[in-house]
Amino acid sequence: MARILKDYPAVSLKPEGLDGEIDFVRIFGRSGPVHIEIGIGRATFLLNQAMAQPQVNFLGIEWAGKFYRYAVDRIGRWALHNARIIRIDAAAFLADFVPADSVECFHIYFPDPWPKRNHRKRRFFCPANLEQMLRCLKPGGNIKIATDHADYFEQIQATLTAQSRRLEEVEFLPTAGADRGEWVGTNFERKYLKEQRPIYTIAVRKI
């Protein structure tokens, strides 16, 4: 029997409640470093990392309704006070609501590669969205990316290289939930490793 998914108002942010730039201190009820994960899936990374770093405030963005509901229920059941989730278009959220110099790290793990050539314009990682992330990042803030899709990774590398005056590559360290041989320990990564797909990772820091 499928579990009934509950909404937890303390976890789920509602887009209709946003009015201009958000105040992370108000959202989390405290000050602290802010990490944003774009495309959280079932919130495996978010759950593990929020437990491992209780001093960090984690905000997860997910557009797919079924993943969003599952993630809210999962985070809510664990009663994690340093994690929030919102269902909204990530590009619009960054552009319209995230203040400049407010984010310590962006996490982007196994984003939809939109593999068909005529669909590639839908990929999240592009020059315009990178520009927004750079605006939102604090100096010294990081962007961490993992994907199994070689073509998308080439596009990501080229987009980052074009901003080489503002970014420097740094070591990609495995996340808290990663087992041996894994980078981030998400459901997608474990599925792809079983299929023996190569995993591509990169991390950069805002100069």
Query: Which residues fall within 8 angstroms of residue 64, CB to CB, at 6 or more apart?
Result: none
What separation in angstroms does the CA of 46 have from each of 39, 83, 98, 150, 166? 10, 8, 19, 25, 27
Residue 81 CA, distance from chain mean position: 18
The first and second tokens of residue 79, run together, are 């009663």
Q: Which of 23, 112, 151, 179 is catalytic?
A: 112
Q: What's the 3-state SS for 115-157? A: CCHHHHHHCCCCHHHHHHHHHHEEEEEEEEEEECCHHHHHHHH
112 catalytically annotated: yes
Which positions are catalytic?
Answer: 112
